[in-house]
Amino acid sequence: MAERIKVDLCVIGGGSGGLSVTSGAVQMGASVVLLEGHKMGGDCLNYGCVPSKALLHAAKVGMGWDDAHDHVKKTIETIEPHDSVERFEGLGVRVIQEYGRFTSETEVEAGDHIIEARRFVIATGSSPLVPQIPGLDKVPYLTNEALFDLKEQPKHLLIIGGGPIGLEMAQAHRRLGCEVTVIEGAKALGKDDPEMAAQVLDALRDEGIAIEEEAMAAEVRGKAGAIEVEVKDGRVFKGSHLLVAVGRKANTDKLNLNAAGIEPTRAGIKVDDSLRTTNRKIYAIGDVAGGLQFTHVAGYHAGVIIRSMLFGLPSKQRTDHIPWATYTSPELAQIGLTEAEAREKHGDKVEVARFDFTGNDRAIATQQTNGLIKVMVVKGRPVGASIVGPDAGEMINLWALALANNLKMSQIAAMVAPYPTMAEVSKRAAGAYFSPRLFDNPWIKRIVGLVQRAVP
């Protein structure tokens, strides 16, 4: 007979968002059941952010193939205890290592357990999207879920998909000694500012990575060690291994959403600004909510719904202050509107403040001058920032703070940065915004002249 459990909160999914909600809720006094049918830590820890950044680092510092993969495993093993069943049980969470399936609007079945809860949170994340390319199902291919367990070093890695995942893995494998060809159906890094993306693509091509754009895959054929990808214009690319990195799909198949009165969408689950589904007792967060697919967004969503669920306070998500980064060398980071998006939305009201890394003394001293920052400004406030260059993912944090708190460019300009640091480029960008107002303004010069003559 199934065990019946009644709690305040049932969280379905032990990835970043689910664990954040679970940890916060139980420590603030709620009774919580957590359901996870696969690996604690979800995609980010096991197949995504953590192993990919570990592999990129290993390749950058010159590790060999075996050492690089050992480093990936050790990195995951070091972080695993923080996301483990033991840790959450120690916090007072009932962890059930089974998939959850709704049986009604108020109950979920998980193995031999039936959980009734006052509130549910769906945090099941996403999985690699495998496109319907003729022949793909007949040849061996990799996704990020298998890539990091690859024992044999590819001689020539073909990658379908020129987004962040595809290009990060292209650079890592090229630096580990593989030939690499990226096959992209449209424009590589097509969601980013074209001027900034071009710097990344030029750098990757300079390392010997072939990046083929406007190359929509039409057919895949071959066998292990000898794979061919033919694109619509007839070009054929040959390699030993194939990685598919064209995007992700929300994990909803096992949930039986209809039983709970939850409306799905093409991208995942329909939610309102409070991240409630069409069943108001059930929330959806992270990738499965159908919006931006980043680990830090899932963590942000967790904070939004905890305020609502535990304290009964109004709380809504926003997206204008969410940054993202691609961790190639150079890195590419974005928050808010790109230049093109800002001009489309705000027209002539937009001013773009630019600063090139060639003007940064630390960049000169460390031979890292390949970089640029652009800040889109409307009425004295930044509405977006784009950075390409070393540590762009770190430097975007200042602009994330600015957009989250509606800061003015004058407040950025007032910041004092230690010299010499790469982070000075943000302050210099703010200075570039004010320079024409100060140095090209005849009234300023007239006032200064009057003051100098008047003051003895």
pLDDT tens per residue, range 372-402: 999 999 999 999 999 999 999 999 999 999 9
Domain, as residue range, for 143: 136-246
Say what the pLDDT of residue 180 is. 98
Cα atoms found within 13 Å of the Cα of residue 260, Cβ hemisphere only:
32
Say what the pLDDT of residue 439 is. 62
* Section 68-84 average pLDDT: 97
Residue 74 lies in a domain: no
Residue 378: C-alpha distances to residues 399, 405, 407, 411 (Å): 14, 15, 12, 15
Q: What are phi and psi of 216, to 5 degrees?
A: -75, 120
Using pLDDT thresholds of 50, 70 and 90, give the confidence band for residue 9: very high
197 shares its domain with 278:
no
Q: Higher model confidence: residue 449 or residue 260?
A: 260
As a whole number of angstroms, the distance between CA 383 and CA 47 comes to 33
Count structural domains, the chain: 3
Instruction: Read off the CATH number of the domain in which 388 is found.
Output: 3.30.390.30
Q: Which has the closest alpha carbon to 329: 162, 171, 164, 157?
A: 171
Residue 334 lies in a domain: yes
Residue 79 lies in a domain: no
Q: Out of 201, 216, 246, pick the residue that ends a domain.
A: 246
Using pLDDT thresholds of 50, 70 and 90, give the confidence band for residue 452: confident
Say what the pLDDT of residue 435 is. 75
Cβ atoms 342, 384 nearer than 8 A: yes
Instruction: Read off the CATH number of the domain in which 273 is found.
Output: 3.50.50.60
As a whole number of angstroms, the distance between CA 115 and CA 97 comes to 13
Is 92's pLDDT higher than 90? yes
408 shares its domain with 347:
yes
Is 438's pLDDT higher than 70? no
Is 445's pLDDT higher than 80? no
Residue 73 lies in a domain: no
Q: Out of 311, 331, 362, pick the residue that ends a domain.
A: 311
Per-residue pLDDT of 392-433, as tens digits, reads 999 999 999 999 999 999 999 999 999 999 999 999 999 999
Residue 168 lies in a domain: yes
158 shares its domain with 173:
yes
Residue 297 lies in a domain: yes
Residue 450 lies in a domain: no
Q: Cis ω on the peptide bond leading into residue 134 (within 30° of 0)?
A: no
Residue 328 lies in a domain: yes
As a whole number of angstroms, the distance between CA 207 and CA 265 comes to 41
Per-residue pLDDT of 159-193, as tens digits, reads 999 999 999 999 999 999 999 999 999 999 999 99
389 shares its domain with 253:
no
121 shares its domain with 266:
yes
225 shares its domain with 147:
yes
202 shares its domain with 182:
yes
* DSSP SS3 for 223: strand
307 shares its domain with 361:
no
103 shares its domain with 144:
no
Burial of 221 (0-12, 13-18, 19+ CB in 10 A): middle
* Section 35-52 average pLDDT: 96
Say what the pLDDT of residue 1 is. 79
Alpha helices, DSSP H only, in 271-382? 295-311, 339-346, 361-365
Pairing status of strand 226-231 against strand 236-239: antiparallel
Per-residue pLDDT of 341-350, as tens digits, reads 999 999 999 9
For residues 131-142, one letter each, b for 16 or more C-beta atoms within 10 angstroms of the residue's C-beta and e for the rest, the string is eebebbeebebb
207 shares its domain with 229:
yes
* Section 93-106 average pLDDT: 98
Q: Out of 224, 246, 268, pick the residue that ends a domain.
A: 246
Using pLDDT thresholds of 50, 70 and 90, give the confidence band for residue 440: low
Using pLDDT thresholds of 50, 70 and 90, give the confidence band for residue 444: low
As a whole number of angstroms, the distance between CA 295 and CA 298 comes to 5
275 shares its domain with 230:
no
Is 244's pLDDT higher than 90? yes
223 shares its domain with 269:
no
